[in-house]
Chain A
């Protein structure tokens, strides 16, 4: 222990003497470690998040287009939807025996950047959602807030808010005359649901209802009084309809077996997507084909699309990781070269240490400790850089905000990164340590 303390004081003095080289090596190592940690943090959280968000969803049915976009928009709520499908078209498909549960989604409006999702109460079951307060919606324009929404907006049960047309907060085109009322707030579930405002399908339909009063009247679950009000005042004419023809403008008819009002002439009602849970795993074989055979709809598997996404992202991640590894190797080389050069300058010092009674152990230890100290400082810097960067990225970009990604977590992978960096620093100082051992003979003093 005494020897260790002595070796440490020698190592510290040597590092202090070469401040610039020390700083450079620590910085290089820190940047390398930081980059890898940031990548790993972001990726692990994104993967974890996507896994939880898509758990229990076997298939998504939506409008034709990019299957990945369909998954991103309807499951993870990050992209814009591919379009809408007619509920009537989907009805025969989702009533198949292979389907255990089909959750309809109608997207189109938002409040302060949080999406308002018209759906059925089954949606909560997908994520084991629980109420933290209030109750679930019973009638149109009653909304239940996700935990993050409630926290961010400060809205509570009984509060009223206005939906904005579109999925991003543009502040324009508000449904000012149809405020939602908050009837419940959900407990945090750690899923996409935390950042959503859930409401009845008919609320979303109702707000975008304009052209077909007869259909409206025939929807049994929509109170007539409210409809007439809407019809009279709602501003979204056809002129506006062109602008947002992708996701909203849902016109009619509830979601097949999910809602209780499946019959009726309201065949023009649209939904954005259906989240499907299979009755049996065997359904995966033939069911998607059935859906894709229909001209207007496509089926996309969250598992498949997530895997595809990570494959695409993976190229960039691999490149970045490679870059970070190069930086770390440079840091290792820097440590190696720095120590070797210093040894040449300090040959006499090392011999002197032996003369003063230092054992070879102390001499070797003092060299190894220089590598270790550089490694530890680099790792500390790297942890700070990595976590701060991950946090910054998490807060800066809208997509990562929606995925609730940040830097204030710790994942087990970080231990292996730390271990790797320390090992690198130590290995880099092995050769110099061996040379110190070999050179630290007092003859040197005499020879010079």
Chain B
């Protein structure tokens, strides 16, 4: 099968440039296209760091990371930003949207930052599917928790990414919403032909993934 994400002997530091932090070694993973994967482990096991490494957001000390055949480690910062913008959609631990902009402007900004043309029909379809089309002209603080999560997912998908990375997308949610959120992610990934990698300590969603990688079994 076609390998989408591949890491080998990656080491890096916690929390970026803090020199005093210990160096950690990350597990090797190999995710093929269409094979949705769960990275499961307790807090501090390096899930987020691994997600950030794959997204090219983390300074890597040694090892190899490939995304869709591209070498993320040796790539220039500019190219990494580009690749992240166009190929990778990210749903973060906390549902960050730019507070000064409406949901519509947030989605348009994501397209612009990926050097894409603003595609308003796509934005409309996407938000309609996620049930927040009537919230497009609201600001993030005017949305409920669930609505902002949908908005964050919409933003992750707005550039039709090949790879969808989600970091603790459900940890802040109750059981009902947790179920809904993970279904939403899986459905949308399937719909847009994206491969989903979820990092979490949340055992509730374990059953939804065929492919689970256990991290830092402390």
**Interface set of A (CB-CB < 8 Å, partner B):** 2, 5-6, 9-10, 13-14, 16-17, 346, 348-349, 351-360, 362, 441-443, 445-448
Contacts and interface: CB of A to CB of B under 8 A. Distances in A.
Interface in B151-198: 155, 167
Interface of B: 15-17, 48-49, 52, 55, 57-58, 77-78, 81-82, 84-86, 90, 92-94, 96-101, 105, 109-110, 112-115, 155, 167
A16 B93 CA distance: 28
Contacts of B55: 355, 442
Contacts of A360: 77
Contact of A354 (B17, B81, B93, B99): B81
A443 B113 contact: no
A9 B109 contact: yes
> Quick one: which of B82, B99, B113 has the most chain A CB within 10 A?
B113
B99 A357 contact: no
B78 A359 contact: yes
A443 B52 contact: yes
A102 B77 CA distance: 81
B85 A441 contact: no
A355 B77 contact: no
A13 B105 contact: yes
A348 B110 CA distance: 15
Given A13-B105, A357-B82, A443-B15, A2 B115 contact: yes
Contacts of B15: 443, 446-447
Q: Considering residues B55, B58, B96, which has the most beta carbons from chain A within 10 angstroms of its beta carbon?
A: B96
A391 to B, nearest CB: 38
Nearest to A443: B16
19 contacts: A9-B109, A13-B98, A13-B100, A346-B99, A348-B94, A349-B96, A353-B98, A353-B113, A356-B90, A356-B109, A356-B110, A357-B114, A441-B57, A443-B16, A445-B96, A446-B48, A446-B93, A446-B167, A448-B94
A404 B12 CA distance: 74
Contacts of B115: 2, 357
Contacts of A353: 98, 113
A362 B167 CA distance: 25
A356 B113 contact: yes
A49 to B, nearest CB: 50
B96 A5 contact: no
B109 A10 contact: yes
Main secondary structure of the interface of A (DSSP, over half): helix
Given A6-B109, A446-B49, A447-B15, A355 B92 contact: yes
Nearest to B47: A446
A13 B98 CA distance: 9
10 closest A-B pairs (Cβ-Cβ)?
A357-B85, A442-B57, A443-B16, A17-B100, A13-B100, A357-B113, A446-B48, A6-B112, A352-B96, A356-B113
Q: Which of A5, A358, A446, A447 has the most CB atoms of chain B within a 10 A radius of its CB?
A: A446
B172 to A, nearest CB: 13
A357 B81 contact: yes
Given A6-B109, A354-B57, A356-B110, A445 B93 contact: yes
Given A5-B112, A442-B57, A359 B93 contact: no
Contacts of B58: 442-443
A448 B16 CA distance: 13
Contacts of B113: 6, 353, 356-358, 362
Contacts of A351: 96
A288 to B, nearest CB: 70
Contacts of B101: 13
A349 B92 CA distance: 12
Nearest to A342: B100
A422 B167 CA distance: 43
B16 A441 contact: yes
Contacts of B99: 17, 346, 349
A37 B52 CA distance: 53
A446 B45 CA distance: 13
A445 B16 contact: no
Nearest to A441: B16
Contacts of B94: 348, 445, 448
Nearest to B56: A442
